[in-house]
Structure 1
Amino acid sequence: METIGGDAHVHRYGWAGLWSAVASLIFLWSMVQQYVPAQLEDYLTTLARRLHTAMSPYVTISIDEHIPDSFSRSEAYVSTEAYLSATCASSARRLRADHAPGSDRLRVAVDDHEEVVDQFRGAKLWWRKTKMLPRSNIISWSAREEARRMYCLTFHYRHRGLVDALYLPHVLAEGRAAIVRNRQRRLFTNNPSSLWSGYYGRTWSHVKLEYPSTYATLGMDPGKKQAIIDDLDMFRDGKDYYASVGKAWKRGYLLFGPPGTGKSTMIAAMANYLDYDIYDLELTAVKNNTELRRIFIETTGKSIIVVEDIDCSIDLTGKRKTREKKDKGSKKKKTTLPTPAGGREDEDSKVTLSGLLNFIDGLWSTCGGERIIVFTTNHKEKLDPALIRRGRMDSHIEMSYACFESFKVLAKNYLHIADHELFHEIRQLLGEVDMSPADVAENLMPKSKNRDVDACLRKLIKALKQAKEEALAKALVGTDDKEETQGDDDSNSSEEEGNEKK
């Protein structure tokens, strides 16, 4: 018993001495490391890894957070993070919690320098998340941004074929599925370049997308609405088809029509139907074409990139202004000069038409997939034909004034009725008067909790009759002005003929 006790005593104190020596070595290395040249440190690190590889039967695969020489995060890294959060986070001792966008709960993920274990078809696999800081004794924002994060997967070499063929595709597929399950639709806006430093280099800021518009509530002709839905379905399920015909997996929509006809509502309905994010691109906040390309790269798949009122953002009409130039000893000669971007001489914005075309349909448009680009305008005729041709804006959707079919949708939404004795009169008036769906909806909006259907419909009829009278009065004024102008022209012609005779 004494011998056993003595051996245990020696054994215990032997381990204590070993751990003390290891701790001392670690402390000394931390003191000496800052004086070791970087080349020598890299050499020692490489040598240690080679010795470990030669002696260890395990294989390690690393997945970096960022793709080398790229602005975007690695899809493999994002999918791995989602997979581990869904399957292995419960076994981790150190977790990192942050607020999931648009959610009322915290999202839990594996923290830096934490290890979790996964099982797959009898194979045991270890995942470790690491963070490598740059060689700098000064902590700054730039140093933090350059920190390198990665997930390291370690397994026995005999499972190499299983990992390559089955496990890694499984992680990617399950991670993507977890992202889709947990995703909350977001509305992004691009930050002005002058404020990027204040946003720590973030190009986009976002809020939760809470626009409730759907195609069921959209006041539009049902046949036209169904054609748009079918087109969106074909795009969403057309990844292989787009690849087979050699086209980037994207589609452009031009929404044009008078104000109040539901262009923004249509975009929200698209996002809700496809479960896509919306990137609201403000072109006036973009400095130049290079910045525009970076902004595009920072967008993700399953998204709708929107430029509202494209004709008002910057000068993209393709027209040229004329400037009179007087030559010596000759008449005035008109010389055409390109209009600066934005139509201003101060060149506040240097985004050009060619830069925007490359953004939509050039080489940079192929960076990523499953993106929809939407332009809206009240004046289609003002846009350069090169900007809205097929292949860039593939589908032109006219958002027109309310018809009787769109009125019936709005009446069902606002008044919960499918038919009424006043519908016949409203149908006749809608055929004679142009009124936007927004104006129709406002007149159908109940003003009390009682929801007096008759009062709402009569209010709409009154508004339609008033709009009809205003349109007739405007037409009469226009006719009178035209006749007066024609009379003046006839008088001037007679006077000129008399002068010629004289």
Structure 2
Amino acid sequence: MVIGESWAQIGSTIAGLMFALATLQQFFPLQLRVTLEQFVLATLQQFSFVQKFCDKLVSFFLPYITITFPEYSGYWSNQGYTAIETYVGARSTTEASHLKGSLIRNSKALVLTYDRKVSDEFDGVKVWWVSGPSTSTSSEDKYYQLIFHRRHSDLITGPYLDYVLEEGKAIEARNKQRRLYTNNPSENWSSYKKNLWSDIAFENPATFQTLAMDPKKKEEIINDLVTFSKGKDYYTKLGKPWKRGHLLYDPPGTGKSTMIAAVANLLNYDIYDLELTTVKNNTELRKLLTETSSKSIIVIEDIDCSLDVTGQRNKERAKSSENLGHDLNCKREKESENEKTSKVTLSGLLNFIDGTWSACGTGRILMFTTNHVNKLDPALIRRGRMDLHIELSYCSFEAFKTLAKNYLDLDSHDLFENIGILLKETDMTPADVPENLMPKREKKDPNSCLESLIQALEVPKKIKS
């Protein structure tokens, strides 16, 4: 009887509350009801025991936490989303039952993604990844949601997410298609999307194995590059930005562009070919350089002809007769319409190389090329800015043997000795040698190719005599 009376009393109370609520909704305006509700909630939240009770109630009925990672953050793409997409895509190949395959931009491998949901486990804790929106035709932005039990929040929001991001970036680096970027003129930039750079797939097959240069010098450069690419922790320990500067110099046709391609292929880095003549001022230069990705190569070719960023501190340098033609060409380039309005300065470039802005991005290599190293301002090429000076000279005998292997599959030949003597007496660039080694017929004839090279090497001797 007592229990029955208690339930009757509870039912009567609930019915009374429901009646009061219905009356409130019927006779009070919406604005007043909202105000009263906010007042009551604010009053209750002032009591800590009420807040604790609510938290426990929510935890009991809703023990799982959901974190959403949108594809875009404002107008810009979310790099965390990209890393998560790559990581979860790799996990989905073994965990999900329904997959979608697509060849996405900047990737050289087929990317497999799951339809909606896939599970993962970290240190014995199970989590779930959910993709959205559910249909590819939805106009909503795409996102990933991470769902996990709230008791594991410290582990998941800390070590697990760090692991996911690092692993996603590593997988992306292994699968990515190298890109070649070039800067767009600022009048073509858009305020609502980042289109400072245009890019195409970089498919230059050059490698250090096929690069024609002295083997010892080649080995030194490879060791320097590999050591740098693995030196992030070392640079952090030193308190220095993780970057490297390379200066490639000497005559045209000695392989500077091929060297850059070989470096990109060795390290799997993208290339940003910066055309300074289209950059109007230091502000634009800074915007361009900060929009380059980490672990990339920033190239400025023919730096001695790029605007007035070289030689400004010593304008009275004597011009030798052998460089007269070069000076005239640079003068013509500097008289272009773009350069007339450019205000890029040497200090603006130096500030990004090793100034305050040099720490924006990690693992970058800056590569300058020039045919006239003596014309460059010493402040630009000193050690610490251009850390490695690489002189690419005329074709040596060792370099020739690499070319002979590349073009004719020859490791040795009776004519090699004569060619070695002629190469010591004649300056011929590695770009000119292949023109004579290239077979002129479908069937290779090594003898005729080597004899053609010998004739080309003897021409300068005949002219001098």
| Pick aligned residue for 2:187 from 194, 199, 203 | 194
Query: RMSD of aligned C-alpha atoms?
Result: 3.4
1:82-133 deviation per Cα after TM superposition (whole angstroms, max 9, x unaligned): 1122223874989795633364x7645578xx655444455342334568xx
Structure 1, unaligned stretches of length 5 or more? 1-35, 132-143, 323-338, 474-502
Determine if the alignment matches structure 1 residue 57 to structure 2 residue 63: yes
Q: 1:98 to 1:458 in 2, by over 3 A?
A: closer
The 1-side partners of 2:406 and 2:389 are apart by 27
The 2-side partners of 1:109 and 1:123 are apart by 23
The 2-side partners of 1:57 and 1:367 are apart by 40
| Pick aligned residue for 2:410 from 386, 395, 417 | 417
Q: 1:198 to 1:74 in 2, by over 3 A?
A: closer
| Pick aligned residue for 1:76 from 63, 77, 80 | 80
Determine if the alignment matches structure 1 residue 271 to structure 2 residue 264: yes
Determine if the alignment matches structure 1 residue 298 to structure 2 residue 304: no
1:236-295 deviation per Cα after TM superposition (whole angstroms, max 9, x unaligned): 111111111111111000000100000000001111111111111111222221121121
The 2-side partners of 1:78 and 1:102 are apart by 12
The 2-side partners of 1:231 and 1:246 are apart by 19
Where does residue 127 of structure 1 map in the other structure? 129
Where does residue 388 of structure 1 map in the other structure? 381
Where does residue 184 of structure 1 map in the other structure? 177
The 2-side partners of 1:198 and 1:446 are apart by 52
1:303-339 deviation per Cα after TM superposition (whole angstroms, max 9, x unaligned): 11111111122122233668xxxxxxxxxxxxxxxx9
Helix, strand or coil at the partner of 2:389: strand
Contact 2:64 2:147 in 1 (8 A): yes
Q: 1:317 to 1:170 in 2, by over 3 A?
A: closer
Determine if the alignment matches structure 1 residue 287 to structure 2 residue 287: no
Structure 2, unaligned stretches of length 5 or more? 1-30, 43-50, 134-138, 317-330
Where does residue 239 of structure 1 map in the other structure? 232
Where does residue 456 of structure 2 map in the other structure? 463
The 2-side partners of 1:375 and 1:118 are apart by 46
Q: 1:122 to 1:245 in 2, by over 3 A?
A: closer
1:171-204 deviation per Cα after TM superposition (whole angstroms, max 9, x unaligned): 1232123212311111111122122239953122
Deviation at 1:167, TM superposition (A): 2.1
Deviation at 1:162, TM superposition (A): 3.0
| Pick aligned residue for 1:85 from 75, 85, 89 | 89
Where does residue 6 of structure 1 map in the other structure? none
Identical amino acids, percent of aligned pairs: 53
The 2-side partners of 1:203 and 1:53 are apart by 51
Contact 1:72 1:297 in 2 (8 A): no
- Is the deviation greater in 200-209 or in 50-59? 50-59
Contact 1:342 1:348 in 2 (8 A): no
Q: Given the two structures, how large is their TM-score scaled by the length of structure 2?
A: 0.75
Determine if the alignment matches structure 1 residue 101 to structure 2 residue 106: yes
Helix, strand or coil at the partner of 1:88: helix
Q: 1:285 to 1:94 in 2, by over 3 A?
A: farther
The 1-side partners of 2:141 and 2:409 are apart by 57
Contact 2:92 2:112 in 1 (8 A): no
The 1-side partners of 2:285 and 2:371 are apart by 24
1:200-252 deviation per Cα after TM superposition (whole angstroms, max 9, x unaligned): 53122211111111111111011111111111111011111111111111100
Q: 1:460 to 1:249 in 2, by over 3 A?
A: same
Contact 2:309 2:344 in 1 (8 A): no
Q: 1:245 to 1:256 in 2, by over 3 A?
A: same
Tell me the matched-pair count.
392
Helix, strand or coil at the partner of 1:436: coil
Paired amino acid for 2:90: A
The 2-side partners of 1:394 and 1:101 are apart by 30
Matches within 5 A, 1:11-22: none
The 1-side partners of 2:297 and 2:277 are apart by 19
The 1-side partners of 2:301 and 2:393 are apart by 17
Matches within 5 A, 1:131-150: none
Contact 2:65 2:150 in 1 (8 A): yes
The 2-side partners of 1:260 and 1:438 are apart by 5
